[in-house]
C-alpha cells in the first residue's frame, strides 16, 4: 500500500501552519468559509478537519475546556446524544509560547448524531468528533482544531451519494491514515509563525 502524502499546510495566510494528509482539500476553494476558520475535507471519505480562532473564554476552566467546546459544538449543530468518550489531561505546549506564556492544550473525543448543512434530523449521521483546544492566553485566543470521522452514514444524508450509506470503510482498509492519527498530527504540528495575526 503506498504511503499517504503528508504536507505542511499554511493557514490564515501563512501566519500559522499545520501538517496533515494532502487528501484534505481546502474548502474555501469550493464555498465561502468564515474568516476565523480554515476548513479542509476529504469528500471521498466525508472526513473533515477544521481550524478555528475564537476569543478566549476566561470563564471556562483549562481542565475541562476541550469537553466544554465539544458540548458547545454539539449544541450549535443541534446534535443528538453527544457522548464524550475520552478527555485528556491539560498539557503545556512548549512550542507555542508568547511573552513567556506557554499555550495549554487539552483534547476530547465524542460521538454524536448530526445532519450535514441544512438537512433535517431524518438525515443524521453518527460521527466521531475529535477536538483540541489550544489556549493562547497571551493573545486571548482559544484555538479549536476539530476532526470529524463518520461512523455510520444515513441513507438520506447527502454524504450517502458520495461515500455510500451504512458503516464507514475503516481508514486502513481504504489505504489512508486513520482520523485519530490525522488529528494528533495536526495538533502536534500546529505552529504560529506570526503572532500579529491575533
41: which 3 cell numbers?
A: 475535507
E strand residue ranges, 56-90:
80-87
What confidence tens digit (pLDDT) does each residue in 90-146 have? 877 777 888 888 899 999 999 887 666 565 556 566 788 999 999 999 999 999 999
Would you identify the CATH topology of the domain 6-197? Protein Transport Mog1p; Chain A (3.40.1000)
175: which 3 cell numbers?
A: 489505504
34: which 3 cell numbers?
A: 468564515
Q: Where are the domains of the chain?
A: 6-197
pLDDT value of residue 59: 96
Give the mean pLDDT of 5-20: 96
| pTM greater than 0.85 | yes
Which long-range contacts link 4-7 to residues 24+ away (Cβ below 8 Å)? Answer: 4/175, 4/176, 4/177, 6/177, 6/185
| 51 pLDDT above the threshold of 70 | yes
d(CA 109, CA 84): 6
Amino acid at each position: 500500500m503506498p504511503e499517504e502524502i503528508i504536507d505542511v499546510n499554511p493557514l490564515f495566510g501563512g501566519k500559522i501552519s499545520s501538517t496533515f494528509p494532502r487528501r484534505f482539500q481546502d474548502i474555501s476553494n469550493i464555498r465561502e468559509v468564515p474568516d476565523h476558520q480554515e476548513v479542509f475535507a476529504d469528500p471521498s471519505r466525508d472526513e473533515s478537519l477544521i481550524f478555528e480562532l475564537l476569543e478566549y473564554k476566561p470563564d471556562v476552566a483549562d481542565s475541562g475546556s476541550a469537553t466544554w467546546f465539544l458540548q458547545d459544538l454539539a449544541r450549535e449543530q443541534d446534535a443528538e446524544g453527544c457522548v464524550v468518550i475520552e478527555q485528556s489531561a491539560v498539557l503545556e505546549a512548549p512550542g507555542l509560547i508568547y511573552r513567556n506564556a506557554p499555550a495549554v492544550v487539552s483534547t476530547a473525543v465524542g460521538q454524536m448524531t448530526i445532519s450535514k448543512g441544512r438537512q433535517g434530523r431524518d438525515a443524521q449521521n453518527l460521527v466521531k468528533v475529535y477536538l483540541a483546544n489550544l489556549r493562547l492566553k497571551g493573545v486571548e485566543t482559544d484555538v479549536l482544531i476539530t476532526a470529524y470521522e463518520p461512523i455510520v452514514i444515513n441513507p438520506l444524508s447527502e454524504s450517502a451519494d458520495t461515500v455510500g450509506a451504512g458503516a464507514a470503510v475503516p481508514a486502513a482498509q481504504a489505504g489512508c491514515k486513520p482520523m485519530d492519527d490525522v488529528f494528533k498530527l495536526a495538533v502536534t504540528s500546529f505552529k504560529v509563525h506570526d503572532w500579529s495575526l491575533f
